[in-house]
Amino acid sequence: MQAQIQALMAGGQGGTAPREIARGAEVAKPQIFDGTTARVAGFITACKLYIRTRMREETVEGQIQWILSYVQGGTADVWKENVMEELEAGEVEYESAEDFLICLKKEFGRGEEESVKAIELRKLEQGGKTMEEFVQEFKRAARGNRYEGRPLVEEFKRGMNGGIRRKLMEAENPPTSIEQWYRRATALDRNWRESRREEERL
């Protein structure tokens, strides 16, 4: 496999892409991937497009070898060597190139996913939602996020409506853990809404 990958790489030096391996209409090939998190999504998309349009008849092994020929440099080199050893030893087998790309994404796309989740969490605001609705939405966004403990509490406080936040912070015994904030904010919001309904009926 090492020799086959080196042959695919022979068309380029110093980080340039290998030569085109099939004839026909021009299709954009992926840029060399060095393990940079910000580039993993684009690399995977380019590989999928090229394989679907130019390499449909190629074996799964051939498709994976082709993908690996574009994995060069940076943190990707060690991972690539380990994958090649596993493949050659028969320790791992992929049913399709897509399965292989999923593994690549899991290895190099963690930071990207965490960043997306962090951005999603920071965008959340209670607005006109009930606190129960906001808490559920916040919990979903917080799953798998890098925030925990005090930073998670601060993000929750930032997103909730100011009136409830001030009342809880000014309480004699303000909540400390995220679960206390969830519970007490929900109770306060529910009581406030019930009072509003009572006033409207009078």
**What is the domain count for the chain?**
2
The CATH number of residue 138's host domain is 1.10.1200
Specify whether 20 is located in the same domain as 84: yes
| E-assigned strand segments in the chain | none
pLDDT digit string, tens, across residues 101-115: 999 988 887 665 556
Residue of 90, 86, 105 lying closest to 47 (CA atoms): 105
Specify whether 103 is located in the same domain as 116: no
3-state secondary structure 48-71: HHHHHHHCCCCCHHHHHHHHHCCE
- The stretch 164-185 carries a mean pLDDT of 94
Buried residues in 35-62 as b, exposed as e (16+ CB within 10 A): beeebbeebbebbeebbeebbeebeeeb
- The stretch 5-22 carries a mean pLDDT of 47
pLDDT digit string, tens, across residues 75-111: 899 899 999 999 998 888 899 999 999 999 888 876 6
Specify whether 92 is located in the same domain as 125: no
Specify whether 101 is located in the same domain as 121: no
Specify whether 124 is located in the same domain as 84: no
Is-above-0.75 flag for pTM?
no
* Cα 3 to Cα 8, 51, 146, 197, distances in angstroms: 9, 21, 41, 76
Residue whose entry in the numeric block shows the structure tokens 């409506």: 161
pLDDT digit string, tens, across residues 126-174: 999 999 999 999 998 888 666 778 888 999 999 999 999 999 999 999 9
Specify whether 116 is located in the same domain as 78: no
Q: Is the pLDDT of residue 6 over 50?
A: yes
Q: Which of 108, 141, 170 is the last residue of a domain?
A: 108
Question: Which domain, by its residues, includes 72?
Answer: 2-108
Q: Could you give the count of Cα atoms lying within 13 Å of 200 in the half-sphere of its Cβ?
A: 6
Higher pLDDT, 176 or 26: 176
Mean pLDDT of the chain: 84
